[in-house]
Amino acid sequence: MERKNRVAREPESRMPTGDLSPFRKIDRRTFLVRGAAAAGVAASAGLATGASAQDLAGHPWERVYGAGFTGYGQPARFEQPVMRHIVRPYGDLAPGSGAALSPIESLEGIITPSGLHNIRSHSGTPDIDPKQHQLLLHGLVSRPLMFSMDALWRYPMTTRIYFLECSGNSNRNLVPKPAQVPAGALHGNLACSEWTGVPLRMLLEEAGLLPQAKWLLAEGADSAHMSRSIPIEKALDDALIALYQNGERLRPEQGYPVRLLLPGWEGNMSVKWLRRLKATEGPTHTKDETSKYTDLLPDGKALQFTFEMGVKSVITRPSSTMKLPRAGFYEISGIAWSGAGRVRRVEVSTDGGASWSDAVLHGEERPKALVRFRLPWEWKGQPAVLQSRATDEKGNVQPARKVWQARYAPDNRFHNNSIVSWSADADGSVKNVYA
């Protein structure tokens, strides 16, 4: 069943401009109308009755009976402007090819709501009937096997929190002029969920991997049959055949009814709508591991199979397009992650990298998951440049923008994990800058 109320009312602006308040100004007519109706009923003779009987504090909604139950809850109507930032490079020609970026500027904590999870799809979202969908496991195995969704559901499951980041995330910050758009439109091709599913290792053991099987081709049931080659070590390590996201079955755009999940690796390798796994001797060299998702270097060579997502962080509040209404106290809040494991440290600078302070981390015990960092800040009403720099447990440090850029060809658009900078002007407006 479609739930239309999220999209039925198009917000006036998707940009969280204005002050830092999370509460958005919304038409209050509904409340006024309800209040007036209640007052009319009260106009009976003599005794004070109805809404005006008690001259006490209390908003109109305290004086009318509340809404009934709904089968599937939705965010408050005041939160309707919180939406994904949609990027469609091919326009109407291929409306489902592109990405929808998570509005990280409006979110807190470390779990992304399923409906705001970033989406990267190469050929739209297929409408898959789980009763008909199957997963084939074959190739260099002793026993090729076919799994129905009901069969997968019977296996022992595991639950983990992992981030997923498209390796093209933050490529919009590689254009010559910094775009003045919300943080999510720049760096939101990233999200973090609780995933539940069957360890892939279990299915590979059942099929009996042959010794010469070194790679695994994963293929989706979307109309592009998106496919990637995965080293068998990763498949036997922490790879998950995911069936649930944040407690419910996967959303269609996240691979319903079943997706691969490769913690810490470029998002497109966690193949959605998984239909086939083939054990092979070498990589298949599919389109999306040759023509795309390879990283061009200045000398014209390209790095291939750069799976792991680098250590990275971004301040989400305050961030680009927001406004600091007055001088005084602010909490700097942001997210950090690393495909190599745990985030060990996030430093924050408010002077463009001249000095750094350690932020407090939340969730740093989890490898390959988002970590929330926070730091109190006294803004004195003068220009400032905010930056964050993450370090992971392997000692990897998030690089400066210039250092990162020097490594690659000018048009490389993958694996940009460089430091993000926001400037605060004297009038409090926060902008995206290259520092």
Candidate residues 102, 227, 387, 432; the one interacting with other proteins per rule CB under 8 A: 227
Cβ-based nearer residue to other proteins, 223 or 357: 223
CA dihedral 374, 377, 381, 387 (to 10 degrees): -50
Candidate residues 88, 201, 225, 407; the one interacting with other proteins per rule CB under 8 A: 225
Cβ-based nearer residue to other proteins, 174 or 203: 203
Cβ-based nearer residue to other proteins, 208 or 353: 208
Interface with other proteins includes 276 (CB under 8 A)?
Answer: yes
Cβ-based nearer residue to other proteins, 138 or 323: 138
In the three-class reduction of DSSP (H, G, I as helix; E, B as strand; rest coil), residue 124 is classed as coil
Least spacing, CB of residue 18 vs other proteins, in Å: 37
Interface with other proteins includes 76 (CB under 8 A)?
Answer: no
Interface with other proteins includes 152 (CB under 8 A)?
Answer: yes
Cα 224 to Cα 131, 227, 247, 254, distances in angstroms: 21, 8, 28, 15
Interface with other proteins includes 284 (CB under 8 A)?
Answer: yes
Interface with other proteins includes 175 (CB under 8 A)?
Answer: no
In the three-class reduction of DSSP (H, G, I as helix; E, B as strand; rest coil), residue 239 is classed as coil
- Distance (Å, rounded) from C-alpha 304 to C-alpha 296? 9
In the three-class reduction of DSSP (H, G, I as helix; E, B as strand; rest coil), residue 79 is classed as helix
Number of residues assigned to the chain:
435
Angle at 185 between CA 179 and CA 188, to 5 degrees: 135
Interface with other proteins includes 303 (CB under 8 A)?
Answer: yes
Least spacing, CB of residue 125 vs other proteins, in Å: 14
Least spacing, CB of residue 336 vs other proteins, in Å: 24
Interface with other proteins includes 201 (CB under 8 A)?
Answer: no
Least spacing, CB of residue 361 vs other proteins, in Å: 29
- Is the Cβ–Cβ distance between 226 and 123 less than 8 Å? yes
φ/ψ of 433, rounded to 5, equals: -135, 155
Cβ-based nearer residue to other proteins, 289 or 364: 289
The stretch near other proteins (CB under 8 A) out of 47-55, 105-113, 227-235, 362-370 is 227-235
Least spacing, CB of residue 389 vs other proteins, in Å: 24
Q: How many Å from the N-terminal Cα to the C-terminal Cα in the chain?
A: 47
- Tell me the sheet residues that pair with 277: 137, 218
DSSP-assigned letter for residue 309 = P
